Structure 1
Amino acid sequence: MASEPVARAVAEEVARWGAMRQTGVSLRYMMEFGARPTERTLLLAAQFLHKELPIRIARRALDLESLPFGLSSKPAILKVRDWYVDSFRDIRSFPEVRSKEDELAFTQMIKMIRVRHTNVVPTIALGVQQLKKDLGGSKKFPPGIDEIHQFLDRFYMSRIGIRMLIGQHVALHDPDPEPGVIGLINTKMSPMTVARIASEDARAICMREYGSAPDVDIYGDPDFTFPYVTPHLHLMIFELVKNSLRAVQERYMNSDKHAPPVRIIVADGAEDVTIKISDEGGGIPRSGLSRIFTYLYSTAENPPDLDEHNEGVTMAGYGYGIPISRLYARYFGGDLQIISMEGYGTDAYLHLSRLGDSEEPLP
């Protein structure tokens, strides 16, 4: 353990940086800035990150220290806090970025930070699951639990931003980028293609779990493209389709009727690209609708126990897919709405801003 004075000095510095103002960037800005990366633009970007990342990381480290219900003292949460403090220290102890060599060394360092934080979501989920056990399951949560939801929303939104900034900077160093790709942004992303691949991935998981999977029909213009971060869209469609497949599969499992397909419709408007995912899986009762955006609720009967090694993607589990998908949508100015007809099925509307000029929503 670090000696007391060192630990106190770091804590004071984290508090000081956590009070500073964050600077948001937009998808369009990242695209224009990274369009032709030169030594000079990469140097400027690294100097920006050298100042910006410690502010964002410090805020999360502080957040992790003051959670209600003793969540801050859970081993999993302490572990995540240590990752954030270590990353804060790494960036703060890195000298000013002044040359190409500095910039490359800085890029290597933030790449390491990104790796260090890979398992933040499952580790936090583990801490929340421990809390849930303490509170005696999830039937009725004590007042004040909203504070934990707000914290998780802030925390995960901020994490999306940090990973986007680091990932974008690292990707701009790719010596041989794909045509039309700027860092992590595909300037000509086809939502139809992403929907097809994400649906195939979700069906494969459904097959593995149930031995069969409903079809997925996709409608829209196959030639339509717009600038977006492909992995973000893949994650959102994958989560939504996976939920729909599970609902349909479970509803028709013991029936002699043929399971109806899940339908995806891609619409391109002037401002928004909207992707609608519809199923006939029986819907969600209205009383349960508000809960699907919380992190302490899962529709699965017994979510898998999280442990250190459980990295596999399971069909249903921590109830994180939907709330995190909504954060990804909101990160670039979109949104996710879910409308249910109990006894029939569910429609999810994924709105993505086509203009790419909304600033990151910084918690």
Structure 2
Amino acid sequence: MAAKKAWEAASKSMLEEVGRWGCMKQTGVSLRYMMEFGSRPTQRNLLISAQFLHKELPIRIARRAIELESLPYGLSHKPAVLKVRDWYLDSFRDMRSFPEIKDANDEKEFTQMIKAIKVRHNNVVPMMALGVQQLKKSLDPNIVNEDLVEIHQFLDRFYMSRIGIRMLIGQHVELHNPNPPPHIVGCIHTKMSPVEVARNASQDARSICLREYGTAPDVNIYGDPNFTFPYVPTHLHLMVFELVKNSLRAVQERFMDSDKVPPVRIIVAEGIEDVTIKVSDEGGGIPRSGLPKIFTYLYSTARNPVEDLEASNAVTMAGYGYGIPISRLYARYFGGDLQIISMEGYGTDAYLHLSRLGDSQEPLP
């Protein structure tokens, strides 16, 4: 009994601390700043970076933990969401119980700890998807997507914040690489070729299509392979992969019995402010009434693989309906955007705008 009381008191004081930290101001950083700061990963810079994260990460984590407590329609009480909330509280506790970082040894230990936090949060997206599915099952069917605006807005903030937390941790951890490849600063490639990343992402998407359907449309890429600009290749890979995967599925299903299957086309254009990547398909398009839905988290035309979440980690061809809204957040994280234009009866064009300037501050929800 005494142990239970002590535990309750401890958790109460921790929740009060979460509340206190959640009110503090977040500090955004830009791609350019991360790149310039990380280009000299001296011991002193690593120490400064760790000290910054030691103060910044608990603020960001606390804000999300607080939001997870008060979601509408009872979403906060769904088992999967409670699990995510516990991950955030555990990470907050780890961060806050870590002493002040004074020297290289402290910094090394701190780096190991935030690495473990990043791993702990690996499954946050599918787990939240599971929570939303659990909610959908229990909701009155008369509540339509439009009524769930608050949940969409929360998920946008939540996932945007997660991208930022993972970027900051990933960047700090990667700066410890003793022999980084040329032009690599942490997670950032200072001379990234968008054509090359698009090629790799398309190959990955095609191999999944081949696995699911036994065949896959071609992907043709247009653009200068020698053109480069600073960006995070893993982010771009994820976005192009999602867009191409959707296009391949649409084309494949529309031309299932046809001998002549039109290719998916990717065009990479370099502007002064933006690099734009257009993914074009002739997969029949999306009706106009369906377009707003593709950016929501509660909609997917495909069967839902979330139920298999516990059983497998395989990437499926289509899924939680999360690829598109999350890709848009990745684009916006560094000042870009994602737009989708459809011609019902013909096909879809997705425009991925990436900011070339690298000056935009992180959007901090």
**Structures share fold, TM-score greater than 0.5:** yes
Specify whether residues 280 and 126 from structure 1 end up closer, same or farther in structure 2 by C-alpha distance, changes over 3 A only: same
Supply the AA of the counterpart residue of 2:178.
Answer: P
Structure 1 spans left out of the alignment, 5+ residues? none
Report the equivalent of 2:345.
343
Are 1:135 and 1:141, in contact at CA under 8 Å, matched by a contact in 2?
A: no
Report the equivalent of 2:165.
162
Moved over 6 A (4+): none
TM superposition score normalised by structure 1: 0.97
Specify whether residues 235 and 143 from structure 1 end up closer, same or farther in structure 2 by C-alpha distance, changes over 3 A only: closer
TM superposition score normalised by structure 2: 0.97
Supply the AA of the counterpart residue of 2:325.
Answer: P
* Secondary structure of 2:354 counterpart: strand
Are 2:264 and 2:281, in contact at CA under 8 Å, matched by a contact in 1?
A: yes
Q: Identity of paired residues, percent?
A: 76
The answer to whether structure 1 residue 362 and structure 2 residue 364 are counterparts is yes
* Secondary structure of 1:37 counterpart: coil
Cα offsets for 1:256-302 (capped at 9, x unmatched)? x4110000000011110000000000000000000000000002145
Are 2:129 and 2:306, in contact at CA under 8 Å, matched by a contact in 1?
A: no
In 1, Cα distance between equivalents of 2:324 and 2:145: 23
In 1, Cα distance between equivalents of 2:308 and 2:83: 15
- From 56, 76, 79, the equivalent of 1:75 is 79
Name the count of aligned residue pairs.
Answer: 361
In 2, Cα distance between equivalents of 1:298 and 1:35: 41
In 1, Cα distance between equivalents of 2:312 and 2:126: 9
Report the equivalent of 1:282.
284
Report 1:1-363 matches (<5 A).
3-135=7-139, 140-141=143-144, 144-255=147-258, 257-303=259-305, 305-363=307-365
Supply the AA of the counterpart residue of 2:106.
Answer: D
Indicate the RMSD between aligned Cα atoms, in angstroms: 1.3
Are 1:186 and 1:230, in contact at CA under 8 Å, matched by a contact in 2?
A: yes
Structure 2 spans left out of the alignment, 5+ residues? none
* Secondary structure of 1:305 counterpart: helix
In 1, Cα distance between equivalents of 2:204 and 2:18: 41
* Secondary structure of 1:357 counterpart: coil
In 1, Cα distance between equivalents of 2:162 and 2:277: 24
Give the C-alpha shift of residue 303 in structure 1: 4.8
Are 1:126 and 1:306, in contact at CA under 8 Å, matched by a contact in 2?
A: no
Specify whether residues 142 and 153 from structure 1 end up closer, same or farther in structure 2 by C-alpha distance, changes over 3 A only: closer
Supply the AA of the counterpart residue of 1:158.
Answer: S
